[in-house]
Amino acid sequence: MLSMSDTELGIIVLSLKVAFFSVALSLPVAILVAHVLARFDFPGKTLLDAVIHLPLVLPPVVVGFALLLLFGKHGPIGAWLNDWFGIVIAFRWTGAALASAIMGFPLMVRAIRLSISSIDTRLETVARTLGGSRTWVFLSITLPLAIYTFVQSPGGDAQATRLSLIAVVLSIAALITSEWLTRRTSKS
């Protein structure tokens, strides 16, 4: 009853692969952008903020269409990737990873920006006076503290981590159940 066919297993592996690569692709950029938005003021900040939020406010069809135009085989970026690296994005798992990365990007930036903003900037100042360069302070203080405060936020302890893990387990369970139900219905 719980045994899965190769197709189902393939679907799960594909989902995990898409999820992994979309996060791997977007996380470093999201951290950088979130840090810039949280800590610096510059002309055009509002505009940058708006552009980052576009995938969140635009209908998904519009985002999809734009991605297709840019990354399709004949799109400016898609053609270049294909010519130079032989990478085809459109209608492959790579395309799915890219699309998820773009769609998830605003949410990622928001969460990281919030936790960076909640860090006492004086901690970074102390670290500088102790001899840390800007980059080192970011890596040793800002980034770990952003993760630390993110994990510690509600209730101030590991409760949030536990809830996140439960959410992950529940999602996977839901996925497996739905796959299993789909198989049952298609058989009958």
Partner 1 sequence: MANASHFKIVIDVDIVQRLGTFDLAVSFKAEAPVVGLFGRSGSGKTSLVNALAGVGGQRRGHVIVNGETLFDDARGIDLPPERRRLGYVFQDDLLFPHMHVEANLLYGFRRAALSARVIEPQHVIDLLGLGGLQRRYPGTLSGGEKQRVAIGRALLAQPRLLLMDEPLASLDIARRDEVLRYIELLRDDLHIPIVYVSHSIAEITRLADTIVLLAEGRAIAVGAVEEVMGRLDLRPQTGRYEAGSVFDTTVVAYDPKYALTTLRFEGGELIVPNVEALAGERVRVRIRARDVSLALHPPIGLSIVNVLPATITAIDDQGGPIVEVQLRLGNVSLRARITRRSRVELGLAENQQVYTLIKAVSFDRRSVGYA
Looking at the Cβ atoms of 5 and 140, the one nearer to partner 1 is 140
| Distance of alpha carbon 175 from alpha carbon 1, whole angstroms | 15
CB of 11 to partner 1, least distance (A): 39
| Distance of alpha carbon 124 from alpha carbon 137, whole angstroms | 6
The residue ranges that bind partner 1 (CB under 8 A) are 120, 122-123, 125-133, 136, 140-141, 144-145, 148
Return the biggest CA–CA distance within the chain.
71
| Distance of alpha carbon 77 from alpha carbon 89, whole angstroms | 10
| Distance of alpha carbon 80 from alpha carbon 89, whole angstroms | 11
| Distance of alpha carbon 184 from alpha carbon 3, whole angstroms | 12
Looking at the Cβ atoms of 64 and 132, the one nearer to partner 1 is 132
CB of 158 to partner 1, least distance (A): 13
CB of 140 to partner 1, least distance (A): 8
CB of 152 to partner 1, least distance (A): 9
Looking at the Cβ atoms of 92 and 134, the one nearer to partner 1 is 134
